[in-house]
Amino acid sequence: MATSGADGPRHAHLRLAVIGCGERGAALASAIGQTGNTRLSLVMDAEPTAARALGERLRVPWTTSLDEIVGSPEVDAVVISTPHDLHAPQAISAAKARKHIIVEKPLATSLSDAVAMVRTARACDVRLSAVLSYRYLPHVQHARKLIAGGVLGQLLGASLIFQRDGPQSGWRVRRRSSGGGVLINQTIHYLDWLRFLSGVEPAAVSAYHAIADGTGDVEDTAVMWIHFGNGALGTVNAALCARGTGSAGDLVECRLWGRDGHISLTPPYQFYSLRLVDGKRPGQWHAFAGQRQSSNRDVVYLQRFAERVLSGQEPEITGEDGLAVQALVEAAYRSAEAGHAVRVEREPWTNVT
Amino acid sequence: MAAVKSLVRSIARAALARLGGGAGASRAVPYMARWAGARQRALLRGRGLVRGAGIVWPQHGRAWVMDRDYALPGRGEVLIETAVSAVSAGTERAYFLGLPNAVTDFPTLPGYSLAGTVVEIGRGVSAVRPGDRVALAAPHASLAVGSAVEVYAVPAGVSMEEAAFVSLALIALQALQKVTIIPGNPIAILGHGIIGQLLAQFLCAFGAYPVTSVSRSGRRATEALQRTMQRVILVDRDGVDALDHVDAAVTFDATGHPDGVAFASRCTRPGGRVVLVGSTRGVTEAMDFGALADRRIALVGAHINSLTREDRPVEARRFFRLLKEKRIAVAPLITHRVHPLEAEWFYRRLAGRDDASIAAVFTWDALPSVQRMRRVSFLAPPDLGPLRRAALVEVPLADRVRMNAGTAAG
């Protein structure tokens, strides 16, 4: 059972190593133990105290060496949860060592780095996926099914508000290490919702951002106007300085509306449609899904990733998904800098170098 | 009787109170009046009540499906459980949008053509019996009450879906009554809507030749139309001057548009006739009446109201016979088969700029049977639900934050 990575035989379990033992790395490492098809082989952090603490807590070997991880025959895939500027070099090293790659969002601090990661993974024939795991929240999955069932019809508009009273610190407030602030760190999950739920790609963006209340050199408040490819319009309002909201309870209000209906991912989750969808009477608001769900989005994400990779398929959330949402965020930053609307880069990413 | 009336008033007051008074309550008045009217008729007849579901337009641009009560049929009446109702796309679109010459009071009960099965008959009715398949002019609803002399028996071999178009067929057939059709004399039909398409089929069935079909664009130019017409002119494609070479002895204007008559006259040879079919809406300045007089072209009005009560069953039988003999076919013209609960979706599509529908039907047999027809007591309160359930449920901001706890983004 010494073979590993993309070249090795298919195992019943995908053997994972976690790179980065901070808060998110620890959460993902813990989630690995709760899936039926993944196993944690190793944890790594450049900071030995963090690596040892997590390794001992989860009773797995730990290391401070990236080379040890990518060279290990006991590792099929790596889970990268480090400061964003480290994602690209670590992912590219792993790809060249024929390890599949799971990367915390965002893929990188820049779209060009992210494109390099995805291209390398493709060239090395390994799978790369971004942890855009908010897609797996039960109410989001339910909303997706409703929309696929015709609740909205043609998308006409979207509105997204993300608010938290949660000042950031450390590497997250440095553009060089994080790539940005509230947009790239938190709002990116919900921007991914807009793509995932509507199936329509943003075409252009206009944005403003500011450091309203925080430290460092990244924005803690931002607004965006999105022009979708089909002509629909959307607005985004994000802030980490909204009093009355807390780090344990973000305010997330997300609504999409179309020619035939409207769906709200603001609690209590509701939809309205002129179509007969899911057996619900048209012309009325209907609640869907529960307010609090017990399933863990990271566990679902890892389980689905492993299922697909073990059967030789692309993961549900691909590197291209990570690129698309990274392109949207980067377009917002370019717009804020330029003072006018900018086009969102799209596949085949030929303009990105 | 007085006690029942008093009870009905109490129920009405309780239903209004649930709306919270004010504008909601005043909007409910017409619905309450209809609900009370059904009870009054049932009381006078000494009969019971049934409840079905019907389409209501509460205002321009909106369509609801609401419970609707009916007194069981009185003398000479029949109660029909609807299978299919047909949409008169041009007329209903005009009233839904409130276009010129299409003014109505709201709430409105749209629709005037359906087919179904007789479920109850009143005293003195012998022409039809429960179980008979019939068609009649009545609003879109799961139930219809009509005079026994105004329902048309649907023969075996004709589907409910096609029979449901009886009122629209009568509009087209009465237009043919207004002129003499001589094979060999060119005929033109303006408009590719359901009336224009039915006219084309009737004319072919009656041996008219040659027939030219004219429309602005080809979006409703069905394969059947292209096959059966000797010529199809699309103004956007062929240019408006192509109309001057049609040289029709008779031109039917089935566009429903006020400017249609000007185009129709260009299609018509000197001494010919232009028949205005149906209900043209709005006014036009495009018509040069002097030129019309110079060319001795006669304008002939052809509205359904000119068809006598005696002639209607005759024409309905003619329509059914043509269907049964497969000399005409309505089913291929049906572009939308709509679940009644999706009525608002359909009407909004119909109202859209890019609508290309020709014929549509509401499929009432898709509703659960209990929703289509059920006995109700005099005490059953009215359905005022849609007046109450328009709003998104909002919860306080603090609760929304609490509800998101545990899903914080990293």
Select the residue from A245, A294, A298 to test the B interface by mutation, using most B Cβ atoms within 10 A.
A245
Beta carbons of B65 and A283 less than 8 Å apart: yes
Instruction: Find the angle CA(A226)-CA(A181)-CA(A107) to the nearest 5 degrees.
Output: 80
Give yes or no for A185 touching B (CB within 8 A).
Answer: yes
Q: Where are the alpha helices (DSSP H) in B255-342?
A: 260-267, 289-294, 311-324
Give CA separation, B165 vs B56, B112, B154, B211, B362, in Å: 20, 9, 11, 23, 11
CA dihedral A51, A107, A249, A134 (to 10 degrees): -110
Q: Give B-chain residues touching A152 at CB under 8 angstroms.
A: none
Beta carbons of A185 and B409 less than 8 Å apart: yes
Instruction: Select the more confidently predicted residue: B64 or B24.
Output: B64
Give yes or no for A349 touching B (CB within 8 A).
Answer: no
Q: Mean pLDDT highest for which of A164-173, B385-394, B397-406?
A: A164-173
Beta carbons of A253 and B402 less than 8 Å apart: no
The residues facing A342 across adjacent strands are A205
Q: Which residues neighbour B88 within 8 Å (Cβ) at sequence distance 6 or greater?
A: B111, B112, B113, B167, B168, B194
> What is the structure's pLDDT at A2?
34
For the stretch A126-173, pLDDT in tens is 999 999 999 999 999 999 999 999 999 999 999 999 999 888 889 999
The interface residues of chain B toward chain A in range 107-136, judged by CB-CB distance below 8 A, are none
For the stretch A212-270, pLDDT in tens is 988 899 999 999 999 999 999 999 999 999 988 865 578 999 999 999 999 999 888 99
Nearest CA-CA distance, residue B329 and chain A, Å: 29
> What is the structure's pLDDT at B386?
80
Beta carbons of B345 and A244 less than 8 Å apart: no
* Burial class of residue A246 in the structure, from the number of CB atoms within 10 Å of its CB (0-12 exposed, 13-18 middle, 19+ buried): middle
Select the residue from A103, A260, A274, A296 to test the B interface by mutation, using most B Cβ atoms within 10 A.
A274
The interface residues of chain A toward chain B in range 234-253, judged by CB-CB distance below 8 A, are 244-253
Q: What percent of chain A has pLDDT over 70?
A: 93
Q: Give B-chain residues touching A246 at CB under 8 angstroms.
A: 401
Nearest CA-CA distance, residue A49 and chain B, Å: 22
The tokens for B369 are: 């049977």
Q: For chains A and B, what is the number of CB pairs under 8 angstroms? A: 89
Q: At what angle do helices A84-96 and A111-123 cross, to 10 degrees?
A: 10
For the stretch B281-314, pLDDT in tens is 667 777 777 878 888 888 888 788 888 888 999 9
Nearest CA-CA distance, residue A200 and chain B, Å: 21
A23, A189, A260: residue with CB nearest B409: A189
Q: Give B-chain residues touching A276 at CB under 8 angstroms.
A: 339, 341-342
> What is the structure's pLDDT at A247?
54
Q: CA A323 to CA A107: how far, in whole Å? A: 7
Give yes or no for B348 touching A (CB within 8 A).
Answer: yes
B341, B393, B406: residue with CB nearest A282: B341
Nearest CA-CA distance, residue B385 and chain A, Å: 10
Pick the residue from chain A with its C-alpha nearest to B344. Answer: A274
> What is the structure's pLDDT at A3?
38
- Residue A8 binned pLDDT confidence (cut-offs 50, 70, 90): low
Beta carbons of B407 and A275 less than 8 Å apart: no
Pick the residue from chain A with its C-alpha nearest to B391. Answer: A285
The chain-wide mean pLDDT, for chain A, equals: 93
CA dihedral A298, A299, A305, A311 (to 10 degrees): 180
Nearest CA-CA distance, residue A269 and chain B, Å: 9
With contact defined as beta carbons under 8 Å apart, do B96 and B106 qualify?
no
User: Region B243-257: what's the mean pLDDT?
Assistant: 91
Q: Give A-chain residues touching B398 at CB under 8 angstroms.
A: 244
Write the DSSP string, A189-256.
Answer: HHHHHHHHHH---EEEEEEEEE-SS-SSSS-SEEEEEEEETTS-EEEEEEESB-TT-BTTB-EEEEEE
For the stretch B113-160, pLDDT in tens is 999 999 999 999 999 999 999 999 999 999 999 999 999 999 999 999
Can you tell me the ipTM of this complex?
Answer: 0.80
Q: Give A-chain residues touching B392 at CB under 8 angstroms.
A: 262, 264, 270, 272, 285
Q: Which amino acid is at A295?
A: S
Q: Which of A63-77, A215-229, B275-289, B356-370 has the weakest average pLDDT?
A: B275-289
Q: Give A-chain residues touching B338 at CB under 8 angstroms.
A: none
Beta carbons of A287 and B392 less than 8 Å apart: no
> What is the structure's pLDDT at A191?
98
